[in-house]
Amino acid sequence: MARRPHMNDATAVTAGVAATATLAAWVAGDDPASTSDRARTWAKHTLLDWLAVTIAGSREPLVDMLAEEYPARADGACALVGRGGAVGPIEAALINGSAGHALDFDDVSSRTVGHPTAPIAPAALALGQLTGASGEQLLRALVVGFEAQAFLGESLGGRQTEGRAR
């Protein structure tokens, strides 16, 4: 029986680095003009849906605990959705991402094998706030993030529902 590779194996690490570098180069080389109107509209709807479920989940106990652990601060650059105040980008992505998934009403995709917006939107929003990105740049970041996540999800085994009771 073949041994499953471990992260200590040089070949596994090299393969992982190569795959990560390839994905990063693809994301960095994105052409904003390639975003179709359909993808842009879809990203707007997805962002609005995420904002709604994030506002709804923003006062859940988990989110309260995270906000207590990482309190708003005067020099915070990134808004806490539904709570007010601002924190650093990492804390904002964590708290807003948790709020967006807290009630489990967030979107799901079999291509990404999970909930695509809960991790992508808060990270894109935090980075956008930190860098002063435009709304168009935020939408493009969502599209590229979903494309990358779908590629990874499909490469890790495809659809979430295959082989499971529906």
Cβ contact 109:150 at 8 Å: yes
Of 37, 52, 30, whose CA–CA distance to 141 is shortest? 30
Tell me what pLDDT residue 152 has: 81
- What is the Cα–Cα distance from 152 to 67, expressed in whole angstroms? 31
pLDDT of residue 89: 97
What are the residue ranges in the chain where pLDDT is below 70? 1-16, 158-166
pTM of the model: 0.81
Closest CA to 80 of 71, 1, 148: 71
CA distances from 23 to 5, 18, 85, 142 (A): 21, 9, 34, 16
Strands, E, within 48-150: which ranges? 78-79, 86-87
Question: Which pLDDT value is given to residue 80?
Answer: 98
Determine if residue 84 is left, alpha or beta; phi over 0 gives left, psi from -120 to 50 gives alpha, anything else beta: left
Q: At what angle do helices 135-155 and 37-57 cross, to 10 degrees?
A: 90
pLDDT of residue 35: 86
Contact 78, 130 (CB under 8 A): yes
